Structure 1
Amino acid sequence: MQLDHLLARAQSLAYRISADFNGQPLPPDRRACAAIGCLTVAQQHHCGIILLLRDDMPVHASAFALIGHQIETAFNALWLWYCASEEELGRFLADGSGKTMRQLVAQVDGVLAGSDGPEAALLRDHWARLSDFVFSGERRIRHWLNANEVDAMYAEEAVIELLELSNSIAELGLASFRTIHDKHFTAPRSGEAAPVRLDLAK
């Protein structure tokens, strides 16, 4: 079944992301730390969606609700890294970005459009699916509006769309983590704070 195969691929991706994240040095730079913190949360949302869908009684509505948080958190990371001014970074650390998901996605896309980095390439590859979810209205209740009877199970086609989108955001987050880590990870110089070890297992 296509969904079972996609769930297995999603779980394999989640393990690969965890292997990349776990135990890596966290640079002593507040912008990098804030962005990586967001990416870590987004990665946990990806894992949560997989668990909700793999359960013997799949919790579809909650998985559809969680995808919005995964997208928003991942794009907060991209916005912090590529878009936010120092003043905006300070406000984020105190109160959050204050931006809607649509604003975050649009601003990040505006900055990355035309660039050659891995995040930009992934964004272009998955833009149709992402923009359909973010900019085309509330998709997660469409099943309930179209159904003729009460049914807790969403159509397999809708669940497949959800999982493909979640995987694409997870891949985008992994690419962003690698960009940030590769730029900032250097051996500490004399008088510089040593990197903190990042462990998602805690």
Structure 2
Amino acid sequence: MQLDHLLAKAQSLAYRISAEYNGQPLPDDRRACAAIGCLTVAQQHHCGIILLLRNDMPVHASAFALIGPQIETAFNALWLWYCATEEEITRYLSDGSGKSMRQLVTQVDSALAGRDGQEAAIVRGHWARLSDFVFSGERRIRRWLDANEVDALYSEEAVTELVELSNSMAELGLASYRTIHDKHFTAVRNELARGLRVDQAK
């Protein structure tokens, strides 16, 4: 029952994030566009995990398989926004970052260290679980070997851990989207206001 409640909350979070993303104009900036594109894909992985787990016949192995891409894509977005040079952005748009998940997480963690703001707080708050997944290697096979019989369903504890980590990555993505969106559109509003003042002064 506790897991059902957690999954219902996860689905509500997914709807809320999708509503905030959908229909918004893209900024006229390739760094921002690339990062937002990654965040959208990461959010799709979050939705996929929820759908697979809430199915009448839950598909646990496939849900677990999506958490890696969700983390990697979310941290690609953060890396593009906070770390990548212009040359690296150009390379990313044609060939990807070429970085491992471990490298992405390490560089982003370094860039956010000492910063205020929701992104840094989320990374710090979930660092133990995140680093356990990223730095401890692949653990999905071990989940299958913990039981004494063949069973397609993972333990409730394992699924709960997955959903909590996926939710934290979704919240990180939303915080990053707001950072990018607010920075860009604040600049646009300021530019429009300056233009209006110039026109009024003529």
TM-score normalised by L of structure 2: 0.91
**3-state SS in 2 of match to 1:26:** coil
Partner letter of residue 132 of structure 1?
D
More helix by share: 2
Gaps of 5+ in 1: 190-202
- DSSP-derived class of the 2:28 partner: coil
Distance in 2, matches of 1:170 and 1:36, equals 13
**Corresponding residue number in structure 1 for 2:140:** 140
Matches within 5 A, 1:78-93: 78-93=78-93
Alignment pair present for 1:71 and 2:84:
no
Equivalent-residue separation in structure 2 for 1:96 and 1:43 (angstroms): 19
Which residue does 2:9 correspond to in 1? Answer: 9
Q: Where does 1:43-54 land on structure 2 (aligned, <5 Å)?
A: 43-54=43-54
Q: Identity of paired residues, percent? A: 83
Using the TM superposition, give the Cα deviation of residue 67 of structure 1 relative to its aligned residue in structure 2, in angstroms: 0.4
Shift of 1:147: 2.2
After superposition, give the CA deviation of every residue in 1:105-144 in whole Å (9 maximum; x if it has no partner).
0110011011112100111111111111111121222111
Deviations 1:136-180 (A, max 9, x none): 121222111222221100000000000000000000000000000
Match for residue 164 of structure 2?
164
Distance 1:146 1:17 in 2: 35
User: Matched residues in 1 for 2:183 and 2:138: separation?
Assistant: 37
Higher relative contact order (CA 8 A, sep 6+): 1
Q: Distance in 2 between matches of 1:2 and 1:129?
A: 20
Could you say which residue in structure 2 is the equivalent of 1:194? none
- 1:198 matched residue in structure 2: none
Unaligned 5+ runs, structure 2? 193-202
Structure 2 Cα separation of the partners of residues 169 and 101 of structure 1: 14
1:80-115: per-residue Cα shift (whole Å, max 9, x none)?
Answer: 000001111110001000011111001100110111
Following TM superposition, the consecutive aligned residue runs of length 4 or more in structure 1 with deviations greater than 6 angstroms are none
Q: Which residue of structure 2 aligns with residue 21 of structure 1?
A: 21
Letter in 2 for 1:103: Q
Render the CA deviation track for 1:53-96: whole Å, top value 9, x for unaligned.
00011000000000000000000000000000111111000100
Structure number with larger C-alpha Rg: 2
Number of equivalent positions: 189
For the residues of structure 1 that align with 2:3 and 2:26, how far apart are their CA atoms? 36
